Amino acid sequence: MIRLLLALALLYSPLVRAQAVLADVTAPLVAITTGFSGTDVTIFGSLEEAGADVIVVLRGPGQTLSLRHKERVFGLWLNGPAQRFAQVPGFYGLAATKPVTGLLSLEDLNQNRLGLSALQASLEHQPEGGDVLETDRAAVIAELGKRGLIVQKPEPIRLLAGRLFKVSFALPSNVPVGPFQVSVYAVKDRQVIGIITTPLVTSQVGIAADVHDWAYREPLIYALASLSLAVLMGALGFWAFRAR
């Protein structure tokens, strides 16, 4: 009896279920240099079961975003109290073989934060700015979309031989630095039959990394140096113009 229970536990454990899908990233490290203008991240893998579907999600590091409403005060439009949202993904990319709403139940979509509606509902609000409205959550999602930090692939993932898949996400030049997570879900009969996650890191290298670290270690000196450099460049430009 004990052996039977152990066998059943092993059969339904995440380690075994994860074998329903295998996936990896072509370049697990994205190096951000001074001239970084964006890059593509490609995720590839295979499904164990024929007839299964796949959902691929690329999530960036969590961050806190603030949203302010304009308020009319004595005839002037001023910024009102901030609505702060914690653990907002710095990047969110989603692709699937079919629309995710047809692959899983609403409960499963919300639980795994799959799709923009589920992502919007999962935003953690910090209450010091007053009551939050759904329009506020939608505004956060819309702002990330404007920055190119939310990508929902309109075209479906194509399965080669019914099992092999590949999908690419475009990371913009303003992509945040830090740990990313790739999550790949194998789905069949509206059930998740396998999940696998793999890390991806965006990191500044070279001069960009040195300047970034310096700005965080010595913010006051960095600000003064930046201001001095701006004044110097302005003066040089003025003198060069007068010399003509």
Query: Does any domain span residue 212?
Result: yes
Query: Does any domain span residue 222?
Result: yes
Q: What is the pLDDT along the chain (244 residues), one digit of tens a residue?
A: 433 333 334 344 444 444 799 999 998 999 988 888 999 999 999 999 888 999 999 999 988 877 776 667 776 776 666 777 878 899 999 999 999 999 999 999 999 999 988 888 777 766 554 555 677 788 888 889 999 999 998 889 999 998 999 999 999 999 999 999 999 999 999 999 999 999 999 988 755 555 555 455 556 665 665 666 676 666 666 676 666 6
**Residue 92 sits in a domain of what CATH number?**
2.60.40.1930
Query: Does any domain span residue 4?
Result: no
Give the pLDDT of residue 18: 45
- Give the structural domain span for 221: 206-244
Q: Indicate if 156 and 233 belong to the same structural domain.
A: no
Give the pLDDT of residue 134: 73
Q: Indicate if 181 and 230 belong to the same structural domain.
A: no
Q: Please report where in the chains the tokens 């439009």 appear, as a residue.
A: 77
Q: Is the CB of residue 208 less than 8 Å from the CB of residue 33?
A: yes
Give the pLDDT of residue 133: 66
Q: Indicate if 141 and 220 belong to the same structural domain.
A: no
Q: Indicate if 210 and 199 belong to the same structural domain.
A: no
Q: Indicate if 58 and 133 belong to the same structural domain.
A: yes
Query: Does any domain span residue 225?
Result: yes
Q: Indicate if 164 and 52 belong to the same structural domain.
A: yes
Give the pLDDT of residue 94: 96
Nearest alpha-carbon partner for 69 in 137, 123, 136: 136
Residue 113, sorted as left (phi over 0), alpha (psi -120 to 50) or beta, turns out to be left
Q: Indicate if 160 and 118 belong to the same structural domain.
A: yes
Query: Does any domain span residue 5?
Result: no
Report the alpha-carbon distance of residue 142 to residue 136 in Å, rounded. Answer: 10
Share of residues in the chain with pLDDT > 90 (%): 43
Query: Does any domain span residue 240?
Result: yes
Q: Indicate if 201 and 212 belong to the same structural domain.
A: no
Q: Indicate if 201 and 232 belong to the same structural domain.
A: no
Report the alpha-carbon distance of residue 205 to residue 115 in Å, rounded. Answer: 33
Q: Indicate if 82 and 200 belong to the same structural domain.
A: yes
Query: Does any domain span residue 184?
Result: yes
Query: Does any domain span residue 7?
Result: no
* DSSP label at residue 159: P
Tell me the two tokens of residue 121: 């509902």
Q: Is the CB of residue 182 less than 8 Å from the CB of residue 22?
A: no
Give the pLDDT of residue 61: 92
Q: Indicate if 176 and 220 belong to the same structural domain.
A: no
Based on the structure, what is the number of domains in the chain? 2
Q: Indicate if 42 and 105 belong to the same structural domain.
A: yes
- Average pLDDT over the chain, rounded to an integer: 79
